[in-house]
Structure 1
């Protein structure tokens, strides 16, 4: 190569800096660059930057906004650095303060807000990862210091509030003791919630706050534990108004309903998407507690808007294990109108008491139900029924099919009647293979595949 060409090439490399070399890490905590979380320059975040929040014995009391754009290769990461025994850094909403360099609205809506600010200048946030943090306490009756001084959190407050943003990942966080645990508004897209522990949220005496309340253009929940809401709270566990909803490999216990999939409200763009009407629920363990809310495990369709806006389906519901401890009747699905339909296969649906306590549908809708395991005597509906249940190739099982129903050990018993009784994965859901399953304690494990699938969320293993 001629020397002049070589020099020109070197100068070109120098003139175009690698963004990875410009990215930096902001370390927060004892003996770190920033002792206090509110000192962190969140307004400067750029692609590739990392905020590392180190565990300390006392909680941090800070709140902030993220309004910046990362990239797929260089996301912006806000992460917790655990303590010596794996303790997550705690961010407590009570008395939380915001650094003077930040200026954003809706401070009463949460601890971490994504999108919607004056400083930093408002952009569509993208490629943001929040991981390894415990966030708690954003609820009415708790106060914070915002841009207008001392203020109270609203009834819509959440641990993490996504006002707008795309390619947002919430990973390995604990979200509890808030009005809503996780909340995304309609101007959000491509959201992933994985490996989180979300529990103990809600507002007493109200059915309008939930462990999860989301409305996004594309959302996936996987490998999470959704625990019971606060006592006296009537909200659902996982409520969602999104398009492209995927709920897989989660443990969901309690709530007015475990899963509530209804119409998008503000999001006309969401309703216009090709994937709006279809949802996928598979590989989950769904536990109904005695005395919780109504008796329905999952609801699909809509709850407030014009029926033309409701999701139509199909709801694909497969390879789930449902355990109901209700001392009374249980309904697997409520479909909102005669238009909604569901495909239900390869599940285990178990109730305490006789099989006659289980019904498949509420009042209407249609379901095709095959290759499931249930107690004998189940009913199509407990209500005045105008729908349709097409049932074939289901088998009779009892509580002994799982190792310990009372203790919530959902693994299959040795010699279980549910072994090798599933339908091989159908072409209609080829894009959703069941590759993983939950272990005890809740953790992701590869699901064995011998070509003869077992019923339920967990393939038998010794």
Structure 2
């Protein structure tokens, strides 16, 4: 009898795999362009393969279907022999005539509702290996209302709703927001992406990424500077369950702006809401006119009861090349706390140009590298900083600061200097990507080195 049950289950599983379809798009393929794909009829296990071609694809669409954990729906770009990604250009793009969905002006790929899905949110979707750009005012698309201009807050990918969504190995650029994740999203993973050159000139409201979800993980991404003249942040987030790990993040008004949820109580009531994890990242604060604060934690809505509370900042390498002052943390009130351990906190200026807090907040910091002369605050400290066991030296001993090689050299004081973490223990297993290579596994020789890189 047990054999018969096993056979039936196996047969059903094989049948489900057999029913999954692969929709091939591109020159010489099943579909000439993405506008021909039956987006509203995709089923669990279906794969849409978009082949590289010399010219961009000028199409935009919505993904509103549900896959499963075992059989996600995958939309995948296929690189050419040089490794180039298929390009989706928002300019003069067309929406498929067979699709009818709202918020057309908000993105090139929308993951969310459509007339065909009704109130059912998408689930178990993977979008990977696509170069998506130019969703911004001044660019137009052909949709259900004819020729339409993109919204100011348009995004390369607009994640309106859905659960268990993965955005992987995509290039998102030259848009209002590179990625926008709305509050109806749950369990979102963004990994291995290049996100840069987004934002709207003279506006503080558009960013490389803007997310507000229940469960939000960013890992192995390269976040570059915003467009020239854009005043948004690099990564702005209002989520519960936020994890930012193993990323390279450079520039923006702030590199990380991690504040309170604004859309109702569901995210605020998530048990993960009041803890943010930021570890194993390279954060680069360049010289310029942007905010001198690298990380903002807490809230910006003016409602202290909504502010997130505890930030853990662990094994990051923070580099500031500002000619003026730098501030590591702006904690919104004295109710916000930060654990700052095992980080490299380096400024190319004098040690006295680097401060830990803007004014308020509670910080416990130990086993960090800093230059001598660092300050608790450049102004009047209204919070508290408990500092012990930090390493102070004029030179951290990077392999080559001028070329951006921030690994500890053989004689560096950063070597094997990490101390055990308090609270819930977890392992720091990887290094962030470099400009040309992906993130790799850390290979320690004894205790981990301080910061996000292992030495030679």
Q: Distance in 2 between matches of 1:95 and 1:119?
A: 25
* 1:58-104 superposed Cα distances (whole Å, 9 cap, x missing partner): 00000000111101110000000001100000000001101111000
In the other structure, the counterpart of 1:252 is 249
The reply on whether 1:208 has 2:205 as its aligned counterpart is yes
- What SS is found at the alignment partner of 2:244? strand
Corresponding position: 1:449 with 2:440 = no
Aligned twin of 1:86: 83
Kept in 1, the 8 Å contact 2:396–2:414? The answer is: no
Further displaced range: 173-182 or 450-459: 450-459
**2:175 match:** 178
1:254 positional shift: 0.3
1:308 partner SS: helix
Distance change >3 Å, CA 10–CA 460, structure 1 → 2: closer
Is 2:428 aligned against 1:434? yes
Name 1:391's counterpart in structure 2: 387
**1:278 aligned onto 2:275:** yes
Are residues 1:114 and 2:108 paired? Answer: no
Q: List per-residue Cα deviations over 1:380-422 (Å, max 9, x = no partner).
A: 0012221101000001133452122233221112210111111
Question: Which deviations, in whole Å up to 9, do the C-alpha atoms of 1:221-249 show, x marking residues without a partner?
Answer: 00000000000000000000000000000
In 2: Cα distance, 1:401 partner to 1:303 partner: 38
Contact 2:416/2:445 (8 A) holds in 1: no
8 Å Cα contact 1:399/1:405 also seen in 2: no
Give CA deviations for 1:268-313 in whole Å, capped at 9, x if unaligned. Answer: 1000011100000000000011014110110000011411011011
Q: Gaps spanning 5+ residues in structure 1: where? A: none
Match of 1:319 in 2: 315
Give the aligned CA root-mean-square deviation in angstroms: 1.9
In the alignment, which residue of structure 1 is the partner of 2:414?
418
1:187–1:267 Cα contact (<8 Å) kept:
no
Verify the 8 A CA contact 1:349 1:374 in the aligned structure 2.
Answer: yes
Which runs of 5 or more residues in structure 2 are unaligned?
A: none
Return the alpha-carbon distance in structure 2 between the equivalents of residues 13 and 410 of structure 1.
Answer: 51
Indicate conservation of the 8 Å contact 2:283/2:318, yes or no: yes
Deviation at 1:267, TM superposition (A): 3.8
| CA-CA distance at 1:15 after TM superposition | 8.3
TM-score by length of 2: 0.96
Q: Normalized against structure 1, the TM-score is what?
A: 0.95
Is 2:222–2:433's contact at 8 Å kept on the other side of the alignment? no
Moved more, 451-460 or 55-64: 451-460
Contact 1:105 1:117 in 2 (8 A): yes
Aligned residues: 454
Tell me whether 1:346 sits opposite 2:360 in the alignment: no
Are the aligned partners of 1:255 and 1:292 in contact in 2 as well (CA < 8 Å)?
A: no
Equivalents in 1 of 2:84, 2:142: separation in Å?
A: 27
Asked if 1:164 is matched to 2:126, the reply is: no
